[in-house]
Amino acid sequence: MSDPDCLFCKIVDGEIPGDVVHSTDHSVAFRDVNPQAPTHVLVVPRGHHRDAAALAAADPAGVADLVDAAAHVAAAEGLEGYRLVFNTGEAAGQTVFHTHLHVLGGRPLSWPPG
């Protein structure tokens, strides 16, 4: 299930190029075009879900798959530590409404974020 108007669905489907760094039957990971850290990769489910809450409601195992894929990305990137971020909803900074998990690392990350 994909949304023909969704940017991330188009990347998953290969209609728009993305710098893909990891892929499974259930998810695709690609570099963010506006990186906020030396390593900034987005991990998205192949199926379209509006946000993390929608994915969790429809496919709880899908959330676990994204986290597992993120761990593979972090290992492949040689990250000793990394941050995982879901922005859920416009008020939280979500700009593309297809669930995506940010993998950030490669520099010290301060707390609290944002």
User: Does residue 40 sit in helix, strand or coil?
Assistant: strand
H or E element, residue 18 = none
Give catalytic status of residue 100 as yes or no: yes
d(CA 20, CA 3): 20
d(CA 18, CA 107): 23
List 22, 48, 100, 102, catalytic entry: 100
Beta-strand pair 39-45/82-86: unpaired
Q: Which residues are catalytic?
A: 100
